[in-house]
Structure formats: structure tokens, C-alpha cells
Amino acid sequence: MSIQPGSMAARDLDSMLHPQTHLGQHSKTGPMMLKRAEGVYMYDDQGKQYLEGLAGLWCTSLGYGNEELARAAYDQIKELSYAQLFSSKSHEVGVLLAEKIKAMVPLHKSKVFFGNSGSDANDTQVKLVWYYNNVIGRPQKKKIIGRVKGYHGITLASGSLTGLPMSHKGFDLPLAGGRFLHTDLPHYWRNAQPGESEEQFATRLADNLEQLILKEGPDTVAAFIAEPVMGAGGVIVPPKTYFAKIQAVLNKYDVLFIDDEVICGFGRTGKPFGADTYDLRPDSISLAKALTSAYQPLSAVVVKDEIFDAILKASDEMGPFGHGFTYSGHPVACAVGLKTLEIYERDKIFEHAAKLAPQFQARLARYADHPLVGEVRGVGMVGAVELVANRHTKAAFDPIGKVGAECLKNCQDNGLICRAIGDVMAFCPPLIITSAQVDELFDKFDKAMALTLEWANGQGLLAA
């Protein structure tokens, strides 16, 4: 498709540095210009309709154009468009939202710190862990362990927690100093040894984690961070017994567990939080995305009282808690968050998602026998299909991502937005999607897969 001079696409190329985009390809193809959206459908500037199969970036749980959320933002702007939380100031919507979050999360007693993005939430987590260990007299206990392919954001600290080469390459990340480590990717299908059961695989990974902690020195390892289900790393569902075994190691060495619920939180995995689905007992939780259904940028770090109390106790010695953002607890974002959580409850959105999950997973599972597919995986209303060159040897395509890109193009041509993570096709639709729309989503994907197979065969990309 040629880019018309003077068009919005051409002006985009002239004016924007795009996040998470292959800039060279983008300069040739130009952007997909999205114009408006309603419910689970988006429309481009030509009026073409797309079913939203990834809820934006795993975030718009209530779909688009929700009147109540628009009204909540409007009313809040009229009443109190901005107020800070610095220096002992506060406001009602902030308090109400913090109370609501505390009541929902699987932490017994906690406090809520507001930010604006998943990345800053995880930076806050790092700073809290360091601050906490300083004030309780363990200044050497500072290392934080993430996982290969984990995604926790892109700022300097959260990007260091992230375990994706793309997030590190060229950016001098992880930060130097040896404080950011990565342990194994818990991907059973790809990484299990021959004959190893899921439970044995989980045991091996927990043993590896223990060895890493011992090698580094338990008195230097402060925390472990994990997404209950990895999202941007390719929708990796934890193998059976994995978290129970990992948590036992963390407890043994007094290592805090940071639960990154930025994707899994708020009904995505079939229960309110990923921690509920996988029986996690975290020390702190990161929330963002579906906290406002992405109608406003808002994040929350929920930290257990034990950590908060230690920080409180140290305040005479340390002075003011010197962390926070201009927009921490922005009242408009909090008002929208509060309304979002009210809608989740009132409209039983988590229950709706849990009810649709078997249909969603069953439609995904149908691809298990497709000639392009190595593995189908998922839980609740998130899932993925991994495309491979050889189903039997699991050999990936070379180069990785070429077939995923073609499949994504075919999805979009057929009116479906999803995500290609390399050659992994990821799905995470708005939770308000209906049963008929789940079928519509996969009917469109059927067509995209048929076209991709034809193309891959034509290119000789599949193993004989």
C-alpha cells in the first residue's frame, strides 16, 4: 500500500517516534490509523471494522466508548480536575479507590501507592524493596530476580526486571551493578527435558532458583517478581506445582514475592486475580491496565502492612518518603478506576469472563492439530497459539517473527486485531465480549490461519 503524501499516515511518519515498533518497517508500511471504537470493535480511518482480540494492550476489559466511564471522568474534571497527594494532601476518590483495591486484593492488610503505568508501579516496587531493606538494617539485601521472558515494563528499573532481549538490546539494560537477575522461563512445552513431567519440570526450576539464590548469597537477594501468567513473553501459563515450589524457596531464604498482576488482575485468568487462580501469597502486588479498563493511565502498588509499618517507623530517621509522581492518585484516573471496579462488580464481569472461558479455550484448542501450530496455551480469557516450522521437533521459523507478521496481516485483513509476539499469536479480548463474538473472533482467525498456511507452504517454510 502506498502512503499518500499529506495523508495522516505520511504525517505520522514525519512526526512520531513510535514505541515498540520496528521503525524501518514502519517507515515503509506506515501506521494502521485507528479512528474510533465502540464495545469490542475498532474502526480505522477507512471505516473498516475490526474485532478487538487483544483488548488494546491487554487492558480495555470493558471495551470502548463506555458512557459511564466517560461520565465519571467528566464529572470528576468538573469537581476536582487535579489534586496532589504530596505533603499530606488527599482527596475522596483516591481514598475510596484505595479502600476498594485493599478490599479486593489477596493481601490481608495493605496500603496502596498510586502511579500512572505498569512500568512505574514496578519501579516503585524496586524502590520499596530497597528502601525497606535499608530501614530494617539489611542494606546488602538488594538483588531482585525476574524471569527470562518476563515483562514488567520498560523504564530503567522495570526494564531491568523484564527478561526480554528486545527490551535490553541497545539500552544498556539490565542496569549495571548486579542487582537484577533472571531465572528460568517456566515454559514446559518448549523447555522440559525428554520424559520430564510438568511437576518434575517445576521442581527443576525451583531447584535452579534456589541454586541462584545460594550462589548470589541469600543475604543479598531481596525479592522475586513474576506475572502469574506471562503476557508479553508469549502467554506462558505456569506448569503444575510451579508457584507452590517457587514460593517455598522464597520463604526459605526470606525473599519477598512481588506479584505483577498488570495483565492478570481483574478477572483475566478466570478469578479476580492471577494470585487467586494460582494460590499465590505475595508480599506486594502491581496493578494497572484493567484497573481503569485503560480509560485513564493509573497504576497501583499494593504493599503489605509489614513493609509499610517498617517504612512508617523509620520516618523520623529518614524524613519524608521521597517517592511519588505529580499524577500519583490523579483524581480523574481514580474516579474512572472507582467506576470501573463498580461496573466489574455490578455487572458481574469476572463471572461473565469465567463463564466464557471454556468456550474461548475450546476454540483455541482446536488449533492444536493445525499444521502450523506447535502449542496452544491459555487460561481464563487469555491465550496463544505458537506457530512453528516443525510440529514434531518444535523447530521455530527462521527468522522468528516472519510467519507471525504474515498471520497478523491476515488477521487484520480479515477484521481481527490480535498480537504477534514473534510467531506466537496472542489473544486477550475485552472481558465484555459475548459468546457470539468469541466465535466471530476465532472464525476470523480460522481464515487468517488458512491464508497463512497457504502462504507458508508457498514459501516452503514448513518442514516436510
Ligand X SMILES: Cc1ncc(COP(=O)(O)O)c(C=O)c1O
Q: How far is the CB of 8 from ligand X (least distance, A)?
A: 24
234 vs 374 by CB, closer to ligand X: 234
Does 303 bind ligand X (CB under 6 A)? Our answer is no
| 438, 360 Cβ separation under 8 angstroms | yes
Query: Quick one: which segment of 82-90, 115-123, 251-259, 412-420 binds ligand X (CB under 6 A)?
Result: 115-123
* Dist CA 334 CA 115 (whole Å): 10
118 vs 270 by CB, closer to ligand X: 118
Give, as ranges, the residues between 85 and 104 that touch ligand X (CB under 6 A). none
Does 227 bind ligand X (CB under 6 A)? Our answer is yes
- Contacts of residue 98, Cβ cutoff 8 Å, sequence gap at least 6: 111, 112, 114, 300
94 vs 153 by CB, closer to ligand X: 153
| 266, 228 Cβ separation under 8 angstroms | no
Residue showing the smallest CB distance to ligand X in the complex = 118
Query: Quick one: which segment of 21-29, 106-114, 259-267, 443-451 binds ligand X (CB under 6 A)?
Result: 259-267
The amino acid at residue 99 is: E
| 73, 336 Cβ separation under 8 angstroms | yes
Does 123 bind ligand X (CB under 6 A)? Our answer is no
Strand partners, 386: 375, 424
> Exactly one of 60, 66, 117, 167 binds ligand X (CB under 6 A); which one?
117
Long-range contacts of 41-47 (CB under 8 A, 24+ apart): 42/417, 45/8
Does 125 bind ligand X (CB under 6 A)? Our answer is no
> Exactly one of 123, 210, 259, 260 binds ligand X (CB under 6 A); which one?
260
327 vs 397 by CB, closer to ligand X: 327
230 vs 389 by CB, closer to ligand X: 230
The amino acid at residue 326 is: T
Query: Quick one: which segment of 111-119, 182-190, 370-378, 424-432 binds ligand X (CB under 6 A)?
Result: 111-119
> Exactly one of 209, 262, 333, 421 binds ligand X (CB under 6 A); which one?
262
155 vs 247 by CB, closer to ligand X: 155
* Dist CA 376 CA 259 (whole Å): 25
63 vs 146 by CB, closer to ligand X: 146
> Exactly one of 60, 110, 119, 410 binds ligand X (CB under 6 A); which one?
119
Residue 374, φ and ψ in degrees, nearest 5: -90, -50
Distances (CA, A) of 244 to 225, 278, 416: 15, 8, 37
286 vs 452 by CB, closer to ligand X: 286
Does 278 bind ligand X (CB under 6 A)? Our answer is no
Give, as ranges, the residues between 32 and 71 that touch ligand X (CB under 6 A). 57
Does 382 bind ligand X (CB under 6 A)? Our answer is no
The amino acid at residue 448 is: A
Does 288 bind ligand X (CB under 6 A)? Our answer is yes
> Exactly one of 115, 118, 174, 274 binds ligand X (CB under 6 A); which one?
118
Does 152 bind ligand X (CB under 6 A)? Our answer is yes
Does 151 bind ligand X (CB under 6 A)? Our answer is yes
Q: How far is the CB of 232 from ligand X (least distance, A)?
A: 5
Site string for ligand X, 153-192 (x = CB under 6 A): x---------------------------------------
> Exactly one of 144, 263, 294, 387 binds ligand X (CB under 6 A); which one?
263
Does 148 bind ligand X (CB under 6 A)? Our answer is no
403 vs 426 by CB, closer to ligand X: 426
215: its cell numbers: 550462589
13 vs 280 by CB, closer to ligand X: 280
> Exactly one of 30, 163, 231, 234 binds ligand X (CB under 6 A); which one?
231
9 vs 54 by CB, closer to ligand X: 54
Query: Quick one: which segment of 91-99, 112-120, 204-212, 301-309 binds ligand X (CB under 6 A)?
Result: 112-120
30 vs 238 by CB, closer to ligand X: 238
Does 334 bind ligand X (CB under 6 A)? Our answer is no
Which residues of the shown chain bind ligand X in the complex (CB under 6 A)? 57, 117-119, 122, 151-153, 227, 231-232, 260, 262-263, 288
